[in-house]
């Protein structure tokens, strides 16, 4: 029995290691379920199928039986991807079992096909009355064990031999199922945490807009891909007086309300970011200069008409100065930003509350 135990331990290690590397491509998907897009479920099925093939090819040979953790891969595929993923994994298991089956000894292959089919049918019925929990996952594993034990009995030479292998088999299948479920749950939490930290590193904490780092990364990608775009640099006029009158809390309220206005006015493809202080940058892909100027006028007018409210103070207004430039006016994206900044300076020097395009600068 110790030999079988050691072989199962190797099978178990192969399962966990394969899961770690195989599911890395899916780390950015928040949740995988039987209702996920078909492409995702196909990928899950292929991954689980490849893992099951590795498990079958490294199975424990006991009399006429080939024992391994393939059921864990099959249940996992169905649990996360439904019939699509489970079906792909079942085909992979049957194919791998066929490869290692000696000519003429097809009893194990036939039993494998029957067990996998019965498990998927039972799982599809059970899922209608179950929730997506660890208990339900382990029940499906237990059902698979229940279907496998009669096959083990038929393929082993004596009842004593059946008891020897079945005990180790039950322990490792249940343990493998539990560890696989917990491992995938913790792996998903870890990926979500890393993704959240990455988003926080690229997000302005006050306005939840893109921060300067994110804007600079996007500008660099525009250079790399050769995108045509325009830039609006938006600055709040006399923002210091807002802070002096209403305090920094009042200034923060203005910044947040303005960020909402900018997001509302901009097209979906645009990126709105806070460049620092009271200055905002809008990156507008595939938008020519004239259209960007019109958008700037829309934003300026909307802000001038908006009532800003803070605490018990009466509603008040703020105005914006906006500089505009386009990518066909400069060699690099960062030069476009510099030219938009020059236009903003011109707007400030010529009376504020206006939009100035770079082509208008003398």
Question: Does 164 qualify as catalytic in the annotation?
Answer: no
pLDDT above 70: percentage of residues in the chain:
94
Topology annotation, domain 212-360: Alpha-Beta Plaits (3.30.70)
* Residue ranges of domains in the chain: 2-201, 212-360
Share of the chain above pLDDT 90, in %: 53
The CATH number fitting domain 2-201, selected from 1.10.3470, 1.10.150, 1.20.58, 1.10.1760 = 1.10.1760
Q: Which helix (H) or strand (E) holds 202?
A: none
User: Of 157, 278, 279, 297, which is the active-site residue?
Assistant: 278
Mean pLDDT of 180-196: 79
Q: For 295-328, what is each residue's pLDDT tens digit?
A: 999 999 999 999 999 988 899 999 999 999 999 9
Cα separation of 109 and 90, whole Å?
12
Query: 89-145, pLDDT tens digit by residue?
Result: 999 999 999 998 888 778 889 999 999 999 999 998 988 887 778 899 999 999 999
> Is it the case that residue 266 has pLDDT exceeding 50?
yes
Q: Is 311 left (phi over 0), alpha (psi -120 to 50) or beta?
A: left
Sign (positive/negative) of CA torsion 297, 302, 304, 305?
positive
SS3 186: helix
């Amino acid at each position: 029995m110790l030999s079988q135990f050691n072989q199962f331990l190797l099978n178990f290690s192969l399962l966990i290691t394969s899961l770690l590397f195989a599911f890395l491509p899916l780390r950015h998907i928040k949740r995988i379920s039987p209702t996920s897009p078909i492409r995702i479920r196909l990928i899950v099925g292929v991954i689980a199928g490849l893992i099951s093939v590795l498990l079958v090819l490294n199975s424990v040979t006991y009399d006429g039986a080939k024992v391994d953790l393939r059921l864990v891969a099959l249940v996992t595929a169905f649990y996360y991807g439904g019939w699509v993923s489970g079906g792909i994994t079942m085909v992979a298991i049957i194919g791998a079992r066929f490869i290692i089956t000696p000519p003429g000894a097809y009893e194990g292959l036939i039993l494998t096909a029957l067990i996998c089919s019965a498990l998927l049918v039972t799982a599809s019925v059970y899922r209608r009355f179950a929730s997506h929990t660890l208990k339900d996952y382990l029940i499906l594993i237990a059902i698979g064990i229940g279907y496998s034990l009669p096959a083990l009995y038929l393929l082993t030479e004596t009842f004593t031999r059946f008891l020897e292998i079945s005990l180790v088999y039950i322990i490792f299948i249940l343990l493998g199922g539990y560890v696989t479920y917990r491992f995938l749950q913790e792996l998903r939490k870890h990926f979500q945490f890393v993704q959240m930290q990455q988003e926080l590193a690229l997000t302005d904490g006050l306005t939840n807009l893109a921060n300067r780092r994110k804007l600079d990364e996007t500008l660099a990608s525009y250079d790399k891909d050769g995108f045509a775009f325009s830039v609006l640099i938006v600055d709040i006029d006399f923002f210091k007086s807002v802070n002096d009158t209403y305090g920094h809390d009042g200034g923060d309220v203005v910044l947040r309300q303005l960020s909402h206005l900018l997001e509302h006015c901009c097209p979906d493809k645009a990126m709105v970011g806070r460049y620092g202080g009271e200055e905002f940058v809008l990156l507008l892909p595939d938008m020519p200069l004239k259209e960007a100027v019109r958008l700037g006028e829309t934003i300026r007018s909307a802000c001038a008409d908006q009532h800003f409210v803070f605490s018990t103070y009466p509603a008040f207004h703020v105005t914006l100065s906006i500089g505009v430039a386009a990518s066909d006016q400069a060699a690099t994206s960062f030069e476009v930003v510099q030219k938009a900044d020059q236009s903003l300076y011109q707007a400030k020097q010529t009376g504020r509350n206006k939009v100035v395009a770079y082509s208008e600068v003398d």
